[in-house]
A and B are shown apart, each in its own frame.
Chain A
Amino acid sequence: MIIHQEICVGCGSCQPYCPTGAISFADLVSTVDQDKCYECGTCLRVAVCPVDAIAESAEVQEYPRALRKYFSDATTTHAVTGIEGRGTEESKTNDVTGRVGPGDVGVAIEVGRPTIGMDLEDIQKFTRALARAGITEIEPQNPIHSMISDPKTGDLKPELLGERVLSAIIELKVTRNRLAFVLQTVKAVAAEVKSVFCLDICTMLEPGLQVPQEILDIITAEGFAWQPNAKINLGLGRALKAGT
């Protein structure tokens, strides 16, 4: 994002809206720190500027800076997934797609959220660790999949490593017997990352909204705990035709 210096009246109204604190005063007008800015577009979308001085910079459409927008602006449709946001539909439409089946567990590692943002090097720390551990089941529909240059090493494309985004999600689908191994791998990387990450798992339920005991036992054994709130697919969807 940019603020046209010749238009800005220096009211500062936009500054508190920036999730990353990239807008500050310089020479009595507001200016955007281009390194900090994730191109989330919040300052423009909330339409708080009284003189319309905020705009998207031309280079936001250019690769690799465009990744900032793809991964940070929730209103942008990602070129890889075709949906808005950073992940895929995963659990949200699992009653229709059956993507995570009875013997499967979906695992999502979302780096940068909540709020902090991250360098893509942090994603590479996870993709490398997963590759070293032989965990190769990264969801092909997830944008991260297309950013990996070498699946054997987990290396990202080198031109991406200087970019910062609000968050990105590594989505995996593994068989239940590999969940412990995945959690151990995640735990080992946790101390290396420079940002925060959220960890989610997705599984089919047993009758009465019961989480399979096998899953709960693995979570506990690996030293994790689940939060009291969760996202629950109520099972009201049905397919009209096979997915594409």
Chain B
Amino acid sequence: MTHSLHREGSVESLERDYCMLIYPARGWNNEGVTPKLQRILELVFLEDPSNLLIKTLHKNMYSGVTQKEMIDSVRDNSRAFCVFSRRERLANALKAIKTADEGISIIVSGLIDGVREICDEVGLDPHTINMSLGVHGRTDLLPPADIRQYTTMCGHGMVSPGLIRDAIRRVKTGKLSAWDQSIVLAKPCACGIYNPHRSEELLKEMSPLYTVDRW
């Protein structure tokens, strides 16, 4: 269960953050699925996702691999994960995938109202929802909410709160730009759904609010 449904932040920020998962069903439709997945990925790349990773390669689109290398890495057991910052680009990708009709499960994770509007626009009738009923237990142990806006962009929790604090310090002291630092933050995310565009926005917006040790 990817944790994309547990991403935190303001509604305005989440409005620019929609994940898409491309998921053949093991034992049901994954045999010989490689060309279908490759076709879907070609359509996705046309719409300029903010990040993308194919599970058989385990490298995100900022790691130096080309789109061709990513598409060539697809196998029958591959799953692909991506994130869009612009809703209209996601809608375009979904229109193209619907027309291609490859029969592979597509999951979109984001604001429910936003996904409903996109589905109405594209003409999709969603099948299943996985809803978050929140985080419980020792929530006092969690990093603060401002840090969780970044850490929850990696569903598996691989982007550490310490790295976020380090990023804020580096941006604040001019060692790296907000964009370059966001690419650094995207690296530990093993599913490629850390959104560097949203991360850049957050770093720019929030850096002035922090006091950091220059050294």
Partner of A234, one of B25, B107, B162, B165: B107
Q: CB within 8 Å of B: which of A149-176? A: 166-167, 169, 171
A115 contacts partner chain B, Cβ-Cβ < 8 Å: yes
Most chain B CB within 10 A, of A87, A116, A196, A231, is at A231
Q: Count contacts on A: residues with CB < 8 A to the other chain.
A: 84
Partner of B105, one of A16, A42, A74, A92: A92
A69 contacts partner chain B, Cβ-Cβ < 8 Å: no
For B137, the chain A residues whose CB sits under 8 A away are 111, 190, 193-197
Q: Give the CA-CA distance A104 to B107 in the complex, in Å.
A: 20
A232 contacts partner chain B, Cβ-Cβ < 8 Å: yes
In the complex formed, the residue of A with least CB distance to B9 is A229
Shortest distance between the CB of A109 and any CB in chain B (Å) = 9
B166 contacts partner chain A, Cβ-Cβ < 8 Å: yes
B1-34 vs A, CB cutoff 8 Å, 1 = contact: the mask equals 1111111000100100000010111111101000
In the complex formed, the residue of B with least CB distance to A186 is B136
- Check if B129 sits within 8 Å of A85, measured CB to CB: no
Partner of B157, one of A21, A115, A208: A115
- Check if A89 sits within 8 Å of B157, measured CB to CB: no
- Check if A243 sits within 8 Å of B28, measured CB to CB: yes
Name B's interface SS. mixed
For B165, the chain A residues whose CB sits under 8 A away are 16
The segment from B42-50, B67-75, B113-121, B196-204 found at the interface with A is B113-121
A100 contacts partner chain B, Cβ-Cβ < 8 Å: yes
- Check if B134 sits within 8 Å of A16, measured CB to CB: no
B131 contacts partner chain A, Cβ-Cβ < 8 Å: yes
- Check if A239 sits within 8 Å of B28, measured CB to CB: yes
- Check if A97 sits within 8 Å of B1, measured CB to CB: no
A211 contacts partner chain B, Cβ-Cβ < 8 Å: yes
For B97, the chain A residues whose CB sits under 8 A away are 236
Known contacts A115-B151, A200-B1, A229-B5: A19-B109 contact under CB 8 Å: no
Most chain A CB within 10 A, of B1, B4, B129, B187, is at B1
For A205, the chain B residues whose CB sits under 8 A away are 126-129
Q: Give the CA-CA distance A90 to B107 in the complex, in Å.
A: 12
For A108, the chain B residues whose CB sits under 8 A away are 1, 130
For A208, the chain B residues whose CB sits under 8 A away are 116, 120, 125
For A241, the chain B residues whose CB sits under 8 A away are 28-29, 31
- Check if A231 sits within 8 Å of B133, measured CB to CB: no
- Check if A233 sits within 8 Å of B107, measured CB to CB: yes
Q: Give the CA-CA distance A163 to B6 in the complex, in Å.
A: 25
For A75, the chain B residues whose CB sits under 8 A away are 58, 190
Known contacts A97-B25, A240-B31: A200-B141 contact under CB 8 Å: no
Most chain A CB within 10 A, of B31, B142, B162, is at B162
A121 contacts partner chain B, Cβ-Cβ < 8 Å: no
14 example contacts (A-B, Cβ-Cβ < 8 A) are as follows A19-B160, A85-B2, A92-B23, A93-B25, A200-B133, A202-B129, A203-B128, A208-B120, A211-B131, A231-B21, A231-B129, A232-B107, A232-B130, A242-B28
A contact residues vs B (CB 8 Å cutoff)? 15-21, 40, 42, 45-46, 73-75, 82-97, 100, 106, 108, 110-111, 113-116, 166-167, 169, 171, 186, 190, 193-205, 207-209, 211, 219, 224-244
The 3 closest A-B pairs by CB, nearest first: A237-B105, A235-B127, A93-B25
Taking A233-B126, A237-B103 as given, write out 4 further A-B residue pairs in contact, using a Cβ cutoff of 8 Å, ordered by the A residue number: A19-B188, A208-B120, A228-B11, A239-B28
